[in-house]
Amino acid sequence: MSDIDKATVAKIARLARIRIEDDKLEPLAGELNGIMGWIEQLNEVNTDDIAPMASVVNAKLRWREDVVNDGDKQDSVLKNAPRAEYGFFAVPKVIE
Amino acid sequence: MSNYVIQGATGDFEVVIGLEVHAQVTSNAKLFSGASTEFGAEPNAQVSLVDAAMPGMLPTINEECVRQAVRTGLAIGAEINKYSVFDRKNYFYADLPQGYQISQFKHPIVGEGTIVLDLEDGKTKHVGVERIHLEQDAGKSMHDQHPQYTYVDLNRSGVALMEIVSKPDMRSPEEAGAYLTKLRTIVRYIGACDGNMEQGSMRADVNVSVRRPGEGLGTRCEIKNVNSIRFVRQAIEVEARRQVDIIEDGGSIDQETRLFDPVKGETRSMRSKEEAHDYRYFPDPDLLPLEFDDAFIDAARESLPELPDAKKARFMTELGLNDYNASVLVAEGETADFYEAFLAAVVNKTGKKPAEVAAKAANWVLSDLFGALNKAGLTISESPVGAVAGAELLALIEDGTISGRIAKDVFEVMFSTGKSAETIVEEQGLKQVSDTGEIEKIIDAVIAANPNQLAQYRSGKDKLIGFFVGQVMKETGGKANPGLVNQLLKPKLDG
């Protein structure tokens, strides 16, 4: 059922911006296939007419009022930035 | 209008267009945080730690954004989903600190609806809306401020957007323009979005494909982030032509994202975004499903004002306005409100029924007032002549105090000085002369002064009556009642 190959691992890693050395791709594919196979056991359970569960506790989404009570903290926001200039984050040039 | 065809060397093609419009929801705070949405602040001054995606921060939904999405759905007669789900749309970009956009994928808040386009000659066309979902805006990147760095401002990051997705129902650049125009009018009427395209509060992704008539849908290209109605029309024209040329040269269309360059008048491939299309959506574990009850929907419905289509219909049936005037008056809520206040004031001053004065009132607003406002570069809310002041002027024409021609002069003075019509008429002695004796005296004098013209008139050139009318009006400074002049002049000329 699961057929995660080396190329798929490389693609997922690239999309997630995680560098994985070439020689690690094959073993990772094996591990991921193992995990997927394990999860796929769940397919044996009949879930017809059962709504997906969104939470394990009986909770509802909390709403907030439309009030401005946050922001105005440029210093905190930029504090961990490797580089900030004139109140902006300065990141390596993104070429369009 | 639906007969827009692109003539290729091998035959005709038609264009198929769908629009994804991003409309910024009017709210004080962002979709999931308490930071302000106001435009034009210092960089990163309106950013909460939620918006900056600091670890451990959790999103909490803003009720106003939910309400506005529901109101927008109701305004286009759409199905409202009492259960919807937020998903993560994953991609990496410098102005998206979370590494994903919170959006709605499988279960949007609003389902199918309809927008009625107003086309030429009073024709209409129904365009389907596939869905409306809520999502976060990204930050803003500036690439031209520094040679090595891109500057990122997160003030917009997390601001609520509605993505309004049409069906591929449009067949010409004009229809796409009419769709955007109408959508903009609706969201502005209900106050869900300010519709300001220059500031980016509304922008469109335009899906374009071409086909020979009768064929199935062709491969589409998506032109990203077009920020004016005019550019949407232009982008469609050039993109459709580009696709036709490729097909006729034996090529095929690659499904891709493109950018419209209004300066060069072309669309270009955005190859950098290609890989980003693998978004790996999944339900956002930080947010439970969004649920509300019928009472919430009913309250949203009750809060809607009269919508443009209904208002236009009322202006035409109850007030007898023509299609064109009604369309122009309802296009902006402010204009329609002004017209109604003006009409009410005219009715109040003249004691006439609304339908009797509605057409005159519409003409005055659309030609006299709008003409002066355009010339002065003012909007209707900045008009130096308000609804009541304008009504006073129209009432003076209606009761015969001044002629329509004099009214134009009076209006000019009102517009530049802010004085009332009655004051100006009084001060400058512009009251229409309706005193028969006085007018007769002037007529006699004019006839006596122009014996040649009189002789010609009597010998059959009866068009010369216009000359005499003109002379009388000139003598009275335009103040003589023109109806009365005509009535008195003819028997005297005829001898």
For the stretch B296-321, pLDDT in tens is: 999 999 999 999 999 999 999 999 99
Distance from CA of A33 to the nearest CA of B (A): 18
B20, amino acid identity: E
B313-359 confidence digits (pLDDT tens): 999 999 999 999 999 999 999 999 999 999 999 999 999 999 999 99
Distant-in-sequence, close-in-space partners of B302: CB < 8 Å, separation ≥ 6: none
Q: What share of chain B is helix, strand, coil (3-state, %, to 5)?
A: 45, 20, 35
Query: Sheet containing B149-153: which strands, arranged edge to edge?
Result: A84-85, A88-92, B149-153, B140-142
Q: Is B190 exposed, middle or buried (0-12, 13-18, 19+ CB in 10 A)?
A: buried
Tell me which residue of B129, B130, B128 sits closest to B105, measured CA to CA. B130
Percent of chain B with pLDDT over 70: 98
B45/A72 CB distance under 8 A: yes
Q: With contact defined as beta carbons under 8 Å apart, do A90 and B143 qualify? A: no
B125, amino acid identity: K
A39-68 confidence digits (pLDDT tens): 999 999 999 998 888 888 888 999 999 999
Cα separation, B106 vs A53, in Å, equals 15
List B204's β-bridge partners, or say none: B21, B226
Residue B1 scores a pLDDT above 60: no
A68/B29 CB distance under 8 A: yes
Within a domain: B285? yes
Residue B201 carries which DSSP code? S
Cα separation, B306 vs B189, in Å, equals 8
The predicted structure's pLDDT at residue A31: 95
Q: With contact defined as beta carbons under 8 Å apart, do B16 and B127 qualify? A: no
The predicted structure's pLDDT at residue B276: 56
Q: Which of B427, B455, B477 marks a domain boundary? A: B427
Residue B49 scores a pLDDT above 50: yes
Q: Are residues B228 and B331 in the same domain?
A: no
The predicted structure's pLDDT at residue B275: 57
How many angstroms separate the first and last alpha carbons of chain A?
40
Q: Are residues B93 and B73 in the same domain?
A: yes
The predicted structure's pLDDT at residue B13: 95
Cα separation, B336 vs B490, in Å, equals 44
User: Would you call B422 helix, strand, or coil by DSSP?
Assistant: helix
Range of the domain at B38: 6-300
Domain residue ranges in chain A: 6-44
Within a domain: B178? yes
Q: Which of B390, B410, B427 marks a domain boundary? A: B427
B60-89 confidence digits (pLDDT tens): 999 999 999 999 999 999 999 999 999 999
Average pLDDT of the segment spanning B257-271: 90
Q: Which residue has the higher pLDDT, B470 or B72?
A: B72
Q: What is the mean pLDDT of chain B?
A: 92
Q: The tokens of A82 are what?
A: 């490797």
B396-446 confidence digits (pLDDT tens): 998 888 888 889 989 999 999 989 998 888 888 777 777 788 888 888 888
Q: Phi-psi category of B225—alpha, beta or left, where left has phi over 0 and alpha has psi -120 to 50? A: left
Q: With contact defined as beta carbons under 8 Å apart, do B403 and B478 qualify? A: yes
The predicted structure's pLDDT at residue A1: 47
Q: Are residues B181 and B76 in the same domain?
A: yes
B154, amino acid identity: L
Q: Are residues B123 and B149 in the same domain?
A: yes
Q: Which secondary-structure segment (H or E) carries B140?
A: strand B140-142
Percent of chain B with pLDDT over 90: 74
B29/A67 CB distance under 8 A: yes
Of the candidates B28, B61, B152, the beta carbon closest to that of A67 is on B28
B64/A66 CB distance under 8 A: yes
Residues of A in contact with B288 (CB under 8 A): 54-55, 59-61
Residues of A in contact with B27 (CB under 8 A): 66
Q: With contact defined as beta carbons under 8 Å apart, do B253 and B221 qualify? A: yes
Within a domain: B363? yes
Q: Are residues B281 and B310 in the same domain?
A: no
Q: Which residue of B has its CA nearest to A86?
A: B43
Radius of gyration of chain A (CA): 22
Within a domain: B377? yes
Q: Are residues B422 and B404 in the same domain?
A: yes
Q: With contact defined as beta carbons under 8 Å apart, do B299 and A73 qualify? A: no
Residue B273 scores a pLDDT above 80: no
Average pLDDT of the segment spanning B219-243: 95
Rounded to two decimals, the ipTM of the complex is 0.91
Q: Which of B277, B300, B323 marks a domain boundary? A: B300
Cα separation, B51 vs B395, in Å, equals 57
Distance from CA of A27 to the nearest CA of B (A): 23
Average pLDDT of the segment spanning B213-219: 91
Q: Are residues B459 and B311 in the same domain?
A: no
Q: Are residues B62 and B185 in the same domain?
A: yes
Within a domain: B1? no
Q: Are residues B370 and B446 in the same domain?
A: no
Q: Which residue of A has its CA nearest to B27?
A: A66
Q: Are residues B161 and B33 in the same domain?
A: yes
Q: Which residues of A67-91 are buried (b: 16+ CB within 10 A; e: fewer)?
A: ebebbbbbeebbeeeeebeeebbbb
Cα separation, B288 vs B266, in Å, equals 44
Q: The tokens of B421 are what?
A: 């019509």
How many angstroms separate the first and last alpha carbons of chain B?
59
Of the candidates A11, A54, A64, the beta carbon closest to that of B61 is on A64
Q: Are residues B187 and B247 in the same domain?
A: yes
B139, amino acid identity: G
Number of domains in chain B: 3
Q: Are residues B179 and B320 in the same domain?
A: no
